[in-house]
Amino acid sequence: MTEVGREPRLYRSDVRAARRRLGRHVRVTPVCHTDVAGPNGPVGVSLKFEYLQHGGTFKVRGSLNALLAAGVRDERPVVIASGGNAGIAAALACAILGRSCTVVVPESAPHTKVAAMWAYGAEVLWRGTTYVEATRHAEELAAERRALRLHAYGMPEVVAGAGTIGLEIERQVRARPPVLVPVGGGALAAGIAAALGTRGQVVGVEPVGAPTLHAALAAGHPVDVHINTIASDALGATRIGEMAMELAQRYRIGSVLVSDDAISMAREYLWREFRVVVEPAGATALAAIQSGAYVPGPQERPVIVLTGANTDLTTL
């Protein structure tokens, strides 16, 4: 990892270091090669079942990597702001390592996700109606308690941890197919891009109502966006992370937008055809294939990362 100005630059070597650090703390999630319904008939894809990760979210990779990178002598309490999955991941990572964790959530945080944070022993505090307001309070609380403040997507260790998914895909899937991933703050897309380097292709898929990467690529820099989507509890960042933006430009990460209806249909399809239960954000990448927002090239079998399963089963 090197410094450019104030922002560190992330490379494949950092992701490989994260994989060594994580070791057996995380699952190597399986891949299923199959066909899914597309707008013009069956489409060949490889589904990466990351929703089977500990805690039901890929984010545990980043939280664990950040805490392990801090070292065993760092016993400070942990504070994080989250709309849901980052809080679950931090709570689980702290439980594994025997550290205390406080998660600050907005009032809109789903009870299902808050219950999971409690189950892993975290203290949960409600502050504000948005992720931004929760983040502001988490910063104040971390300073007051002299705690280690984790970030859902803005830390290099978090991005590198998420990127270990890319190293797994390299071993599990032949050739170099494009990898489609949902985008909120951008850690997952950026980490996978860093892992695959210039030989890979990453496509970020976002709800029309949460286009953080799409808007940033159009403007040439991160910009604030208004959030209005059914996937807001997981893809609720109002601005792409600075590191994610740098990696998106360096490795030419693509961006496509999908409607909430397309996300709902993809989610229902996964349950109906595969008995796979994911939250709306977890089905977002598949929605790009089924809606025709992303059309694979000839002989191309894209990898679809199904990211999270922390959802209320009654909403299916």
pLDDT value, residue 5: 42
pLDDT value, residue 43: 97
Instruction: Give the pairing of strands 31-38 and 41-48.
Output: antiparallel
Give the start-to-end residue ranges of the domains of the chain: 2-58+155-315, 59-149
Residue range 59-149, CATH number: 3.40.50.1100
pLDDT value, residue 248: 96
Rg over CA atoms, the chain: 18
Largest CA distance in the chain: 57
Closest of 102, 96, 111, 113 to residue 56, by C-alpha: 113
Residue numbers of the chain with a pLDDT score lower than 70: 1-7, 314-316
Find tokens 């978090």 and name the residue: 158
pTM: 0.94
Instruction: Give the pairing of strands 148-149 and 78-81.
Output: parallel
Residue range 2-58+155-315, CATH number: 3.40.50.1100
* Cα atoms found within 13 Å of the Cα of residue 55, Cβ hemisphere only: 30
pLDDT value, residue 7: 63
* Segment 294-304, tens digit of pLDDT: 999 999 999 99
- The answer to whether 2-58+155-315 and 59-149 have equal CATH topology is yes
Closest of 202, 279, 263, 273 to residue 35, by C-alpha: 273
For the chain, how far is it from start to end, CA to CA, in angstroms?
42
